Chain A
Amino acid sequence: MTSSEAKAVRQPRVGLFATCLVDLFRPSVGFASVKLLQDAGCEVHVPVAQTCCGQPAYNTGDRADTREIAEQVIEAFEGFDFIVAPSGSCASMLKKHYPGLFAGDAAWEERATAFSGKCHELISFLTDVMMVRDTGAALETKITYHDSCSGLRELGVKEQPRKLLGNVRGVEVREMTDSDVCCGFGGTFCVKYSDISNAIVTKKVGNIDTSGADMLLAGDLGCLMNMAGKLKRQGSDVEVRHVAEVLAGMTSQPPIAGSGK
């Protein structure tokens, strides 16, 4: 179904999976996502039965809890035409990893597979499904974009945010070196292996600095909090925001971890 067909029938009903970090730390990203989706012609719903996608348990090897959480998410969201998350890693969890959790349980596996087929990362959903080319936003600034790993390598999100950012009036994109290399967040990794994570993010922050950008954007709040935290610890003035905030023209909130001062 193309977007025009979808609209002709009815507005697609989208369940917004806000992700736990956006919910807890940066509601602005949630509202920016809603605006982008509504502007694209979607009817947006935010089910209250959402907590987290289950990655912390999944990546710690706790399959039982992961599966329980996955069942909960599927039950809350499977009624929508699309399930959209403003995060490559959470979207990938829903889309790529949920079905495998139910291997051997035919009924649930089928349900999870049908569900996963409807899951999308926000920006690629806008460009690839809703065929959005221009979000109508404007911002005078030099930005650099970090490709978060799961979105990039599991979902192929690379050109989509750049296309949309290229059409934001006033924005100049300055690519950093190794934009596709991990920032060192890795969920619980950054706490379990704090020193290694620090070495990785230090390299990343160096590349952000050298890019000459005034603002760092990415599509995953975990990575953004990690990079923002390091930038601020180093006294950097670079503003850090989720890409949805800029695309939605919603930058009145202070940036992540505040301004440089």
Chain B
Amino acid sequence: MSWRRIAEVVAREAAYRSRREAERSLRFFRMSGGSMLKYNAFLLAVFTFMSSMIGLSAFSGPEVAYLTLIMLFLMEILMGVLFMALNLQVLVSDRLLDPIFHLPVSEPEIRRALLWVGIYWGGAALPFVLIPGAAVESYLLRDPLILVGAIMGSLIALVLSMALGYLAGSLATRYTRSLKGRAVSTVVWLLVLSVGFIMGPLMDAVSQLYEGGAVQALYMVPPISFAVMFESSGALLSSLLLVLVSYILFRTGTSRFWRVVTRGEVPLPKRPAKWSLSFGFTAALMKEVKMATRTPRIFASIIMYSFIFPLVFIFPFFSEGLPQGFSGFLAPLVLAVGGLGGFSILYLYVMEASGAKTLYSLPLTRGRVALVKFYTFLTVNMPVAILIAAALAVLMPNGAIPALIYLAALSGSALLNSLTYALLLPKEPSHWSTETFGRTLVAVLFLIEGMAYFSVGIASLFLPNGLRATTSLITLAAIWIVDSILLTVSGRRAL
């Protein structure tokens, strides 16, 4: 069996486990052999469009073009880390490689297969974050070396992101009793998942370097360093150093990941663990919360949106205040931040994994499943959300209504997403994962919701100041009306 065949089998198995009983109408969005190609093609199209548009910045001159190239390079690495870490953790948590270990297949073949699985799951599209933009810049600036440097940089970015992805993915043990281990793992996953938000500070640092007159320093930064490495010894050194670091990290990452996937069974506790029974709704809540906190990757995903979005989009205004004339935009802003925060309820479904099959023999309606997930989401996220709302109310002028909008948007959107996912769940016993709904469908839902909130912000631009909060309140009312309709529908449908 060749390594490519192993990779195909593993990738298909992951997709099959969740896809086999899903709704026919969602077939386009699910990953099969063919749709893996679709998924890569979808990403490739999105990346190419985005990258080409950013590449047009070369009209503003070479310095701006260099800055955007660096930004695209960083984006490729950060997205690659995210892709690899998320996909590799599926291999670990679902033990997808275990059946392969029983076969007469050599270790190098399995290792190569591991790399190839990442390519199946979106890795093939990653170089298109950087290369199309570089091609546009190269054409506009009549400088072919930019494209050459970008191609080399793109490959190194791929290796580096794979290396970091392996290191993060190796933290994806299925479960652990150690509270400390879970806490560390959750923090690492929070960092991995929020890599996109590191872009801002990183680009600020690069811009300051440029604005401070250190233009030469830009030549040391990849992928520019690759383009000019035959003209500058510093650039050559920087490029070689990056290649070396990437190689070392790659070796370390793959070795560590290999140790994790070949570790086998989880060691048993030495003493019988204490146990107690819980009753009523507490039992259902305990089941959800314990499962979430025992799988750090999932837990990090559930809480990330509630932490990161406010941190990035609301917190800066606490110290700086809103720009002059923009006071009415706080309501649409917190509506969007709260609304997108509710999206992470998806992970409460994903964490069920193969255990979800047991739910199908129970007297459960889809509405009841959605509500249990919703209450769990509130339990986990509300303490922080209430603190954020309190800060909004106290620190921002006229912040009381936006604070309430934030809380209502977060909870309303969480319920909306929960009910949507409950209705989309497969009809027959299935393993639940992101593939259950289809990665593309998940991305499309997120985009639709994001665009809806964005549209409210745009619409507010054309409204008088006093009506801006009203628009957000109307949107909020619409969310809750849809919630009640979906609740009625899902309450009638058995799992």
A and B pair up: no
Q: Which residues of chain B have a CB within 8 Å of any CB of chain A?
A: none
